[in-house]
Structures are given as C-alpha cells and as structure tokens.
Amino acid sequence: MAIRSDPPQPPPRLLPELPGARPGRDPSRVIKRGPSRVPPEVVAATQRDRLFDGLARTVALKGYTAARVSDICQAAGVTRPAFYALFEGKDDAFLATYRHGIGVVLNLMESAYQQAGDWPAGIRAALRTLLGTLASVPAFARLAIVEVDAAGPAARRERDRLLGRFDQFFAAAPTQPSLPAAGELVGSIVGGIHSTIYRYVAQNRPAELPGLLPVLTYFTLVPFLGPAEAARHGLADPGDDGIEPAPCLPKIG
C-alpha cells in the first residue's frame, strides 16, 4: 500500500535548553557586573548553557574535527579559563552537550507519547515530536546525528547507549507469536529510523524531516499491527493522535 506524505507540520514547542536553539551570545544571558554579585553557581550554569549553544552551532558550521575550543568560546562569549573550569576539553564538552540535548529530546518525546490515547498514536506522536524538534534546531540535529560519528569512540558509545533508551516506547507494543526476538526487532526499527534521519541531516535537508512522519510511522508499526492498520495510523490526520500541534517556530540555525 502506497504511503503518501503529510503536509509539513508545525514543529513542537522548543525547550530553551536544547543546545543550538539560541545564540551563545544571547543578550538575555549576559552576566551583568555591578555591586550585586551573581552567585558562582548561577554564573557557572549560565556559562555552561552558553557553551552548549556555542558548541552546537560551531560544530554544525565547521564540523567537529575543525571546531576549536577558541571558536566555541568565541561563539559562546565565554573565556577559555571558564571553559576549562567546566570541561576537560572539547571531547568532554561535546559529550556533555550531546547528553543534555538528547535528554531534552527524549523528555519531549515521552511527554507526547504519554498524552496519546493508545500505543500506535503514542508512537506517531513521539515520532512527530522527534522529527519536528530536529527540524527546528538544525544545529543540534547536525551535532547529534552526523557529527557524533567524528567525535570519537566515547561519543559513539554514548550514542549507542542513548539509542537504547528508545526501547521504552515499545514496552506496550502488542506481541505476536510470529514476531522475531523483540530486542532484535526493536533495535532494527530504531536503527532504521536513525539511518533515515541521518541521510536527510547529512544532506542538509533537516527542514524536510517532518514530512517523513507517515512513512516512519508505518515502518515502526507494521511489524506489530500489519500493513493495513499501520497504513491507517501512518496516514492519520495530524490531530488524530490526540496531541495538539505546537505553534509554528522559526528555524534556528
């Protein structure tokens, strides 16, 4: 059965802490000097957030290998001593940024999944949130999907570990005696989704990711529901999963 493309859907609401969603030098995060001293822990947290944004944007622009600590600091408006007070080096900063960003994405997906009426609708809602979030913050999409490969073995191990957390979305999936081993099946589905998203991000086409919702929904559901039911959910109207579309946001580089 042919799967047509949905019209582009508005991306989900962004949490401000998603790396790359704001310029590192965002004026609202300037630490003002004056008689009223800002607590050190607030200064450190603000600098960390700015470095997350600066790193995501710098790595997306230059690539992980070419991005220098000085470039990241410049983009974040943070000094090198402040950088090294927070991170051991570029590898450590990348891992912290990656972990934090994927945690934000997973929280958004979990919220969408839990608000849905049933398991198939929850899968569609979680996928819609994933695709919309990555499309809305292409700098983070580039870092998390493509540049993580260049960041070394530790980053790739962390990616594999975090991809394993997507298994939670299959805990309520219907079981059938004819299905292959559940762990291998879910791993193959998650790997296939990741591979498809990778292709679009690597080709600098993250804005097109929301259009993949029908086919990825079908691909995820068909082993559990069969072709007819999977196609019905894949072709559902955007509001049919019980999740209100979030307001449209401008793309953030």
Name the CA dihedral angle for 100, 101, 107, 113, rounded to a multiple of 10 degrees.
-150
Measured CA to CA in angstroms, residue 137 lies from 65, 87, 150, 253 at distances of: 21, 24, 20, 6
- Summarised one tens digit per residue, pLDDT across range 130-142 is 999 999 999 999 9
Grouping H, G, I as helix, E, B as strand and the rest as coil, residue 100 is: helix
CA torsion 159-160-161-166 (nearest 10°) is 90
In 3D, which of 6, 7, 14 has the Cα closest to residue 246? 14
- The pLDDT of residue 251 is above 90: no
Interhelix angle 40-62/90-115, rounded to 10 degrees, is 90
Determine the pLDDT at residue 26: 74
Looking at per-residue pLDDT, the higher value among 85 and 174 belongs to: 85
The confidence score (pLDDT) of residue 200 equals 97
**pLDDT over 90 (residue 44):** no
1 touches 228 (CB < 8 A): yes
Query: Which range (37-46, 62-71, 80-89, 244-253) has the least confidence?
Result: 244-253
- Distance in Å from the first CA to the final CA of the chain: 37
* pLDDT over 50 (residue 51): yes
Residue range 182-197: mean pLDDT, rounded? 90
Mean predicted confidence (pLDDT) in 213-232? 93
What is the distance, to the nearest Å, from the Cα of residue 101 to the centroid of all Cα atoms in its chain?
6
Range in 74-78, 99-103, 239-243 with the lowest mean pLDDT:
239-243
| Ranges 8-17, 110-119, 201-210: which has the least confidence | 8-17
pTM for the complete prediction?
Answer: 0.83
Residue 178: predicted pLDDT: 67
Interacting residues of 135 by C-beta distance below 8 A, sequence separation 6+: 11, 141, 206, 207, 208, 209, 210, 251
- In this model, does residue 179 exceed pLDDT 50? yes
Token digits for 112? 């969408």
Q: What is the pLDDT of residue 41?
A: 80
Which DSSP letter does residue 4 get?
A: P
In this prediction, residue 180 carries a pLDDT of 63
Of 34-48, 101-115, 223-237, the range with the highest mean pLDDT is 101-115
